């Protein structure tokens, strides 16, 4: 009887260890590409509101807010090898942006990039996004005579989904809810220009609420490559 109990305990321990190894392996969520090096382009994913990128700045002291909506995001990426734990999006451009519904908004990245990391076994919306800029630079959103700036930061709130079937898969990067703290946001202008009170900047909070971007892998010759995330 005791011998059988020992056997059962050993089996349970073995299964537990195997489960831990499997969980550890799953934690290594990564970007994959059939090309080496892998290049990629960013394009609109979906139509209408599904494709829109929405960023809101709120003054918590006054409950005022200004909402920026852009039709799409474009850009490029490249990484060596067939597997990457993170990818950097460069040459980023936002198209047809509005502020509280009014056109004429210009988003100047000033050389800033987005670095997307894998979720690392956490829930799909917990992958990280890093805003990385050249020294002294920041993202500038110009609208209605006001300039809103976003300085380099690190935040969670990105998720990834593989679309299509091999060998023509693509990856959708989805903004689920990225919070940007007050110390990373500044407004230059008057309340009338900025459409929100510029007093008490420490009360400003930014939220990148939604946005879908399609990442398509390519070879160096510009031929579509198989790209997926798992």
Interval 153-179: pLDDT, tens: 999 999 999 999 999 999 999 998 899
Residue that is written with structure tokens 């519904």 in the block = 101
Q: Report the chain's terminal Cα–Cα distance, integer Å.
A: 44
Angle ∠(46,47,49) on CA atoms, nearest 5: 105
What the block records as the tokens of 162 is: 């593989």
- Reduced to 3 states, what is the DSSP secondary structure of residue 13? helix
Predicted local distance difference test score (pLDDT) of residue 15:
36
Torsion of CA 87, 93, 97, 99, to 10 degrees: 70
Interval 87-106: pLDDT, tens: 999 999 999 999 999 999 99
Give residues with Cβ within 8 angstroms of 95, minimum separation 6.
70, 71, 72, 73, 74
Percent of the chain surpassing pLDDT 70: 85
Predicted local distance difference test score (pLDDT) of residue 7:
42
Q: Peptide bond preceding 37: is omega within 30 degrees of 0, i.e. cis?
A: yes
Q: What is the pTM of this model?
A: 0.83
The predicted model gives 32-54 an average pLDDT of: 89
Of 161, 157, 174, residue with least CA distance to 228: 161
Interval 120-161: pLDDT, tens: 755 556 899 999 999 999 999 999 999 999 999 999 999 999
Give residues with Cβ within 8 angstroms of 216, minimum separation 6.
40, 41, 43, 170, 224, 227
Predicted local distance difference test score (pLDDT) of residue 9:
35
Q: How confident is the model at residue 224 (pLDDT cuts 50, 70, 90)?
A: very high
What the block records as the tokens of 113 is: 């990039």
User: Could you state, in order of their start, the residue ranges of all structural domains in the chain?
Assistant: 29-229
């Amino acid at each position: 009887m005791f011998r059988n109990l020992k056997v059962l305990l050993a089996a349970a321990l073995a299964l537990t260890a195997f489960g831990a190894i499997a969980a550890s392996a799953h934690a290594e969520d990564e970007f994959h590409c059939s090309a080496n090096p892998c290049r990629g382009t960013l394009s609109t994913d979906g139509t209408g509101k599904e494709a829109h990128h929405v960023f809101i700045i709120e003054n918590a002291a006054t409950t005022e807010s200004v909402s920026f909506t852009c039709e799409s995001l474009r850009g490029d990426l490249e990484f060596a090898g067939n597997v990457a734990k993170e990818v950097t999006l460069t040459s980023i451009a936002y198209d047809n942006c509005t502020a509280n519904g009014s056109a004429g908004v210009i988003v100047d990245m000033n050389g800033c990039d987005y670095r997307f990391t894998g979720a690392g076994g956490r829930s799909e919306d917990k992958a990280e996004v890093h805003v990385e800029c050249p020294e002294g630079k920041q993202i500038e959103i110009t609208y209605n005579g006001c300039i809103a700036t976003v300085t380099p930061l690190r935040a969670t709130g990105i998720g990834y989904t593989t679309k299509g079937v091999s060998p023509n898969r693509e990856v959708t990067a989805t903004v689920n809810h990225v919070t940007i703290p007050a110390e990373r946001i500044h407004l230059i202008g008057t309340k009338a220009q900025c459409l929100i009170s510029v007093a008490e900047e420490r009360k400003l909070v930014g939220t990148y609420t939604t946005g879908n971007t399609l990442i398509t892998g390519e070879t160096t010759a510009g031929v579509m490559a198989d790209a997926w995330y798992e």
